[in-house]
Structure 1
Amino acid sequence: MKKVVVTGGAGFIGSHLCEKLAGLPGYAVWSLDNYSSGSTDNHVEGVTYLNGDTRDIDQRIDFTPDLVFHLGEYSRTEQSFADVEKVLQFNQSGTQAVIEFCRQRGCKLVYAGSSTKFADAGSGPEQSPYAWTKAANTQLIQLYGKWYGLSYAIAYFYNAYGPREISSGPYATLIGLFTRHMRDGSELQVVHPGAQVRNFTHVRDIVEGVYLVGEHGQGDGYAVGSEEGYSVLDIARMFGGPIKMLPPRPGNRMHASLNSEKTQALGWAPQYSVSQYIKQLRAHDWRQQADAETPLDLTPQ
């Protein structure tokens, strides 16, 4: 059996990755999550769940895994200004512990990098505490590869959406928020100027990409993002209904470059389109929906 650890395995993306891996023959899957934003509602069959912080990974994981997918970090850009202590705790101390664990155990590390690294002609890492820590971690992992021979691969995620995304509170995702507002008939709130371009990528496309990177990737530069780019205002108009413009916020990048050639060379290609996904959301009968989340299992388009 291939032993795999997914940090953040009870979160939005992590739960889908656990589900993917647990469904494959020959995989034994563990999740390590502190449930700061993850949920037991995201647990899937066939996974062993450990409640703990990544800073304590060497105490919580008492075996040597073959592969560690490190997704368990703080992952909100604008909110990171208010949560800087938490950002440094999770994204510096926690990630340092995961890197050192992989070095000492001799297992491969797959790191979930952020597209903020490539934002606005290279200024992305300076735009928020979140973006800075994520970019710094990719450099540290590369240096561990050089200094200690750490086996690693770095995949960069672009604006995930889909089932299990958070639709309320400070950690909500944009598609989740807009879905809730559409369902409730309330205004779609767009941060000025609304021209910010995002490469919205379905969570299952991201999971397929990061799985291939884990199996076959080595080194840096594996972008996992849809080539389709839409402004936030474009997305709001796809949902329909009234739009309310909000004042500008720090850390709200305008654009992030994307080059997924290395990931495509592993056999990856996105299967979902956000525009088609929104059409299916709009056609859904929300009167039968008991909550404000987005649990729809929509088909690729």
Structure 2
Amino acid sequence: MGTTKTVHGDPWPRRFGRAVVTPFLPTSEIADAIEMRGRLQRSTATGRRILVDDFGTGADTAVVAALIARVLAHHRRDRVLAVDATDRLPPLGTRLDTHAAHALGEGVQTASFEQAKESIGEAAPGLWTVQAAQNNEDAYAAGLLPLFRFFGVTLVTGGSGGAFVDAVAETAHSRVRVVRATRDSVRIVGRRLDRLLRDGRRHEVENSVIVVFDQERGEDPGFDAARITRIIAESGAEAVRLRYDRHLAQGRAVQMRRVSEATRRTAIHMAAEVMTKAVASVRPQYEVTEGRGGRA
């Protein structure tokens, strides 16, 4: 029988030790935290679209999107929307501990934010979520684009392919590519990065944060994460390693107070990197500013 208790990412002795040393953190760590917060809070003239996909490796994109969404919503003053187009379990709604009444293109009202919020799920102050069928292309033009103007940042979580995800990809300001920490996954990533560079799509590579995720404990004992992240970084993409976390592995709602300290730091790093790339990116198509205000 599986455990019914939500576990903490760090064992108790490690949490206790961290509590003891926290008041004595070096000045450099405090400065780093301030710098990260500044990157997370950077304002934008228009909303930013971020696509979170698995780069064809079957990695759990929903849990990574949930981490990033919670970090952004905590630090930013505008609204954050997290869209689940994965068609996988556990869905993003489970990871954010909320579910929308309707899916994009299937009942979400977009005439005003007051109408829209009645049919999308509120996961936290400033953080909202909704689902979209991966292959429903109409949900992009008729659902996401009108809704997008109410949010400062929109994260769309999907696998590789699908009409809805492909439509989002065309105007994404930055990308998070989640890959499993296995040698097979890395071979897929290497081929796809090489293809993008050969096709003249260096901008897409450089606007990507590739998260090497230890989704399962010891999934590939022969995997050399340090070497792989260095190789990925040489392509021009940002490489981040997300280590195994007992709390995330339970498949339940992501509670930031329960993830390990390493996961918390990595989540902030991921969010800051992808936000920096999104703000720097120029995507003139479909830019709409109407209604994109602060939190309700």
> What band does the TM-score fall into relative to the shorter chain?
0.3 to 0.5
Structure with bigger RCO (C-alpha 8 Å, 6+ apart)? 2
